[in-house]
A and B are shown apart, each in its own frame.
Chain A
Amino acid sequence: MGLFFHIGRYASFMRSVLRRPEQGAVFRKLLVEEMNAIGLQSLGIVALLSVFMGAVICIQTAHQIGGWIPVYTIGFTVRQTMILEFSPTLIPVILAGKVGSNIASQLGTMRVTEQIDALEIMGVNSAGYLVLPKMIAALTCIPFLVILSMALGIGAGLWVGVSTGVSSAADFEYGMQIDFNAFDVTYALIKTCVFALIISSVSAYHGYFTSGGALEVGRSSTKAVVYAVVIVMVANLLLTQMLLG
């Protein structure tokens, strides 16, 4: 089906998703469950990846500098890489795999087992009931995960730099502070919020409109991740040009 068909159906889907929830209490309960699933249950993988990436960036930078390039460049590079690109872009890409596939397969299974039809028959706005809590949970939790990732990555870089002897703590901390622009963090968080919405809504769209059986649920899940990552990359380029260009 054509691109315009999907854009139109996505817009119509979002209009249904963004309607006022039928029951505030039910919505709040679902929101807490989704924040647990999207936020808390992603803490481990985000922490692990951030620590290793911060450490690797530190060692790679140390390997490349020498001669006239000062040692504090290591701290500077770790900070800039974590804040500008790794945490706000690669963490959402990884979450697109974990959270996005989960959302798509959950909604896809609900579709093929007629649970979504059951909601509709009862008069429930199924798109809003199922998807809005996921989108708001992603919008609130993923930025926190990204901030945590920045802190852990930079901390791991410092620890590895000092423990391997490639940099002193003072040099690393000096590099971390030099030429710091607070807008870089704002830029990173703006990107993260946009990516969180893309990941949750694109995955939900693919899952919600699944038709067929188990095979199609698997396909929807794969498509959800692929499309979410591609759209995140395109949005990354556009936002970077708009905000930093």
Chain B
Amino acid sequence: MIEIHNVSKSFGAQTVLRDVSAQFHPGKVNFIIGRSGSGKSVLTKCTVGLLEPDQGHVTYDGRNFTEMDRQGRKAVRQEIGMLFQGSALFDSMTVAENVMFPLRMFSDATEAEMRDRAAFCLERVELTHATDKFPSELSGGMQKRVGIARAIAMNPKYLFCDEPNSGLDPQTAIVIDNLIGDLTREFNMTTVVVSHDMNSVMEASDFIHFVHQGQIAWNGPTSELLTAKSEALNEFIFASKIMRELRKTIS
């Protein structure tokens, strides 16, 4: 389990996170949702250590990540996989090399073992035909799937996905959502997804944290989302016509 304890973060005079606490459950897809600029990306960056919180700390299965030294963090980070908004694939490497990269850096596996693992991960995301292609030769959806394959290459305990559906068509977005959900259950990972896409939230989430003005304004299981009593949350989720129609149908 990943736990965030009383994390605050400011940039100059602007406070982005205010005393945020949250728990991300293992074997579940935990969504962080909220409007643009609400602080969800900063919360994620503080969680994975790309930003240092001004106050509070983050624990991974009881290990205080925020207080760890470089070596301690390095060990925890090898248990983390992350899918970035723009996929962040290494341009100079082929798809297979991208997936093999973390193994090459941190495992004692032989070349053949690394190739086998990369083939397994790429098969899992249905991209075995793209092994020798470069990222620039792939579509956005394929790049995301390669990003997922790379993220799971080290068999991580924790998977972070930053806006996994941004820039994708609805059908491809559903493929990515389902893939994240399936992999989470298959490998029993603690998955954290940052998104403001309500289709994605309804499709893939098990548990939701709604960030509003730098605070967790609501959290709970997805089954309680549509009946939640938070005004800010309701404004957010029922902003689109299709969600308002859904609310009418439910009520």
- Chain A residues within CB distance 8 Å of chain B: 22-23, 26, 113-115, 117-118, 120-124
Q: Which of B24-52 contact A (CB under 8 A)?
A: 48-50
Cα-based distance from A121 to B192 in the complex (angstroms): 14
B86 touching A22, Cβ below 8 Å: no
Tell me the smallest distance from the CB of B200 to a CB of chain A, in Å.
20
Which listed residue, A22, A115, A120, A121, touches B105 by the CB 8 Å rule?
A: A22
With A117-B50, A118-B82 as contacts: A124 and B105 at CB distance below 8 Å: yes
| B102 touches A (CB below 8 Å) | yes
Cα-based distance from A26 to B93 in the complex (angstroms): 13
B77 touching A122, Cβ below 8 Å: yes
With A113-B86, A117-B50, A118-B84 as contacts: A123 and B77 at CB distance below 8 Å: yes
Chain B 78-92 interface 0/1 with A at a Cβ cutoff of 8 Å (1 = within): 101010111011110
Which listed residue, B48, B49, B90, B160, touches A115 by the CB 8 Å rule?
A: B90
Number of A-B contacts (CB under 8 A): 48
Residue of B nearest to A33 (CB): B92
B106 touching A113, Cβ below 8 Å: no
Looking at chain B's contact residues, the main secondary structure is: mixed
- Chain B residues within CB distance 8 Å of chain A: 48-50, 73-75, 77-78, 80, 82, 84-86, 88-91, 101-102, 104-106, 154, 160
Tell me the smallest distance from the CB of A27 to a CB of chain B, in Å.
11
Which listed residue, A23, A26, A118, A123, touches B88 by the CB 8 Å rule?
A: A118
A117 touching B84, Cβ below 8 Å: yes
Cα-based distance from A23 to B109 in the complex (angstroms): 13
Cα-based distance from A113 to B162 in the complex (angstroms): 13
Cα-based distance from A76 to B48 in the complex (angstroms): 63
Enumerate 6 A-B pairs (CB-CB under 8 Å) in ascending A order: A26-B105, A114-B85, A117-B88, A122-B77, A122-B101, A123-B105
